Copies of this chain bind each other. A is one copy, B any other.
Amino acid sequence: MTIQDRKQRENEARRRAILSASRLIAETEGWNALTTRRLAHEIEYSQPVIYAHFDGRDAIIEAIALEGFDELATVLSSARLTTADPRQALLALASAYSDFADRSPALYEAMFVARSTLSFANAATPDVMRAAFQEIVSAVRPFAAGRPPGVLAEVVWAALHGVCTLKRGSRLGPEPQSQRLEIIVGLVAG
């Protein structure tokens, strides 16, 4: 089976190469710069090889988004657990979310802006996506006060998503983002 193994290893390595090259291109030059020709040149294979690994350009973006959910869940979790104080924990989570969006805007776009066949908020939702959302739920639960924690978490998430995307699109004023995050936390945590 060693030959099969080697082929499988090579296949997986190439799949990873496609994903990391795509991510690098998207993060440095935007998703529009990710063309199949450019990508093929970058991984030093011809275009059809890409289609042996992914159904098409959109499938690559979705695979990258899935990577992102895993990373975001980790980031949010460690931020939330830096303190036992619920209010400070919520602020830490909000800052971590905003930093994540700032540091990897293309990744963030793939996860939360791009049209996608990934299913959110239902039975078919992948575990990594659930995990990321559950971090927000955990952070807001102490402040639920009768409100459904899941819906409150959606609202807080929406506020964070809004300030991140609007800021990214130069649609907000010059005030530092931290000011907006503190207002969000203040509204929730009283």
Contact = CB atoms under 8 A, between A and B. Distances in A.
A26 to B, nearest CB: 14
B162 A116 contact: no
A151 interface: yes
Nearest to A171: B120
Contacts of A170: 119-120
Interface in A154-190: 154-155, 157-163, 165-166, 169-175, 179-180, 183-184, 186-188
A155 B183 contact: yes
Contacts of A166: 112, 154, 157-158, 161
Most buried by B among A119, A158, A165, A188: A158
Interface of A: 112-113, 115-116, 119-122, 147-148, 150-152, 154-155, 157-163, 165-166, 169-175, 179-180, 183-184, 186-188
